[in-house]
A and B are shown apart, each in its own frame.
Chain A
Amino acid sequence: MKLYLYGIIDSSSMIRESICGLEGSRVYNIPYCDIGAVVSEINQPIQGVSERVVLEHEAVAEKLMEKFTVLPFRLLTILDGRENVLSMMDDYYGDFRDNLDRLRGKVEFGIKVVWSADKVKRRIINAYRTKNQNVHLSDDSVERRFVREKFEEHKIDSAFREKADGYINAMDVFLGKFATAKKLETLRTENLLLSAVYLVTKDNQDNFREAFEHVRTARKDLKYLVSGPWPPYHFVILRRKSQPLRNSGQTAIFDKAIVRPTLVEADRA
């Protein structure tokens, strides 16, 4: 019998509330020591990640989040039978326990900010050209002109990135104040100025949202997207890289887990 895994929770007790999982199947807890793996049974293979699977998986993770600390599994984590679930729990118990303790009472918020890269670049280019308009290149060789062009591109690109960093630092002053951890990615595309996730204690959710509103009001020329509260998908830290699960096509159990390099070294020793 195949089991679909939703997450690890900090409880080995039975889930009393009735929760429906994928295909409407009953969600239950498989206990291991003082923690548990929340699963439901599946009768037929799931054909890839669909919108329905995403929503149903997330709905279960959120329902669990109301009562427990949850380490949400990546989508379509499926194991062949209870024995394999217990074996996986045995392999990862230390990591699961550490993460559950660290992430207790915390949720994740996502922030994305889009700017108009074209406009910003145009302004930078104009400023650069105005500043360098008296530089004449007529006596340059082809090689020197090539380098000069590359250098101009390099300066413009550096100024563009500096500008982006300035915007992000200013926003992070407000948002970071209410977060216990964060991951910021700058310019994943030229327009996607910021793609960030913040780990926030449940008590601080309102403060965080207020800070976000402050940022949104202060810079109305940018476009914002805020999402959450989510289970802490991006803040699970593993001591070693997760191995492919036995009897499963799954190559890793957490979607965005970080591996701590120092502890990897310690494990090897």
Chain B
Amino acid sequence: MTMNSVVETDFPETFVEEMEKLQEALPRRIDANPKNVEKGLAKLVLTLVELIRKLLEKQAMRRIEAGSLSDEQIERVGETLMKLETKIHELKEVFGLKDEELNINLGPLGDLM
């Protein structure tokens, strides 16, 4: 028995490539076992911390755009965001995690990373 539905495109390779990227971006399971439980948990926690950091950054940018922060406040925001970014980077190194491993799908908002 054959299918009647058709898939038409002049660029099949392009779409296969994009679909593969999507597959890679799907949330991975936390692989927790006695040997790597620490890394598994670190991955989960850091993913959430990274999500919060990005939300904070977005909120700060919106407020700067709206002109609702004073120079002093902008300076403090910069310092906080810089320190957060550095700390997360250090923790990623400690647990041997790469950026793409800290990814979750945020539904309509897209992927975190």
Contacts and interface: CB of A to CB of B under 8 A. Distances in A.
Interface in B4-56: 4-11, 14-15, 18, 21-22, 25
Interface of A: 19-20, 55-56, 58-60, 62-63, 112, 114, 141-147, 150-151, 154-155, 185, 187-189, 191-192, 223-230
17 contacts: A58-B3, A59-B1, A59-B3, A60-B1, A143-B75, A143-B82, A145-B78, A154-B58, A185-B108, A189-B18, A189-B21, A189-B22, A192-B18, A223-B15, A224-B10, A225-B15, A229-B4
Contact of A150 (B3, B6, B61): B61
B61 A223 contact: no
Chain B interface SS verdict (over half): helix
Interface residue tally on B, bucketed by range: 20 to 34
Contacts of A226: 7-9
Contacts, number: 95
A112 B77 CA distance: 40
B57 A150 contact: yes
Nearest to B76: A143
Given A147-B78, A150-B81, A191-B18, A225 B9 contact: yes
A59 B11 CA distance: 25
Question: Sorted from nearest, which 3 A-B pairs have the closest CB atoms?
Answer: A143-B78, A225-B9, A154-B61
